[in-house]
Amino acid sequence: MEIFLGAAIGGLVGFLLAVPAMVAESSRRVKNLPVLIDIKEIFGKKLTHEELFAISLLFHLVIATLVGGIYTLFAEQGWLFFTNAPYALHSILIFSVFAWVFNGALICPAMRLGFFGRHEGPHIWFELIVLHQLIGLGLWIGFSYYQSFFFG
């Protein structure tokens, strides 16, 4: 149960962080979407502007949901060997760094975005780490709210 709640909190944090991109998309004045990685091509197919927004938003929400769910799994199973302090801010931020490394080293190359998203731009790695840390901060706020009810 806690794992699903952690994933839901991650998805909610991802959605809240994506609001600036959704506002910018509605005005159509921005070429590069804030917060979202602009996935311009997937499996060799160039994406239209609408497809780019939808795929980038989906990628962002899936990453945030997975970070929340996997962190909760690690915390509930006692696998946080690096801090032994589940649901503490420093524990979540350290986990977010590991999630950033996993995302940049495995997920991005698998989606043909290059190592840490270098095919999409020279500063994507920095955007990703800031985004992961913001997700971690949002998870901590969400976990703190629900901790007395669900998280041990």
Tens digits of per-residue pLDDT, 75-121?
888 888 878 888 889 999 999 999 999 999 998 888 888 888 888 77
Nearest to 143 by CA among 75, 81, 94: 75
Question: How confident is the model over 10-18, as a mean pLDDT?
Answer: 93
Q: What's the rounded Cα separation, in Å, for the pair 101 and 82?
A: 15
- Give the residue, 152 or 93, on which the prediction is more confident: 93
Question: How confident is the model over 45-59, as a mean pLDDT?
Answer: 83
What is the pLDDT, as a whole number, of residue 147?
A: 75
Share the mean pLDDT of the chain.
85
What is the pLDDT, as a whole number, of residue 107?
A: 87
Asked if the model's pLDDT at residue 12 lies above 70, the reply is yes
Q: What's the rounded Cα separation, in Å, for the pair 6 and 9?
A: 5
Asked if the model's pLDDT at residue 49 lies above 90, the reply is no
pLDDT in tens, 22-42: 887 777 666 666 667 777 777
Asked if the model's pLDDT at residue 130 lies above 70, the reply is yes
What is the pLDDT, as a whole number, of residue 151?
A: 59
Nearest to 45 by CA among 111, 105, 109: 111
List the alpha helices (DSSP H) in the chain.
2-27, 49-77, 89-102, 108-110, 124-146
What is the pLDDT, as a whole number, of residue 20?
A: 84
- Which of 33-72 are b and which e, b meaning 16 or more Cβ less than 10 Å from the residue's Cβ? bebbbbbeeeeeeebeeeebbebbbebbbebbbbbbbbbb
Q: At what angle do helices 2-27 and 124-146 cross, to 10 degrees?
A: 130
Q: What's the rounded Cα separation, in Å, for the pair 10 and 131?
A: 12
Asked if the model's pLDDT at residue 4 lies above 80, the reply is yes
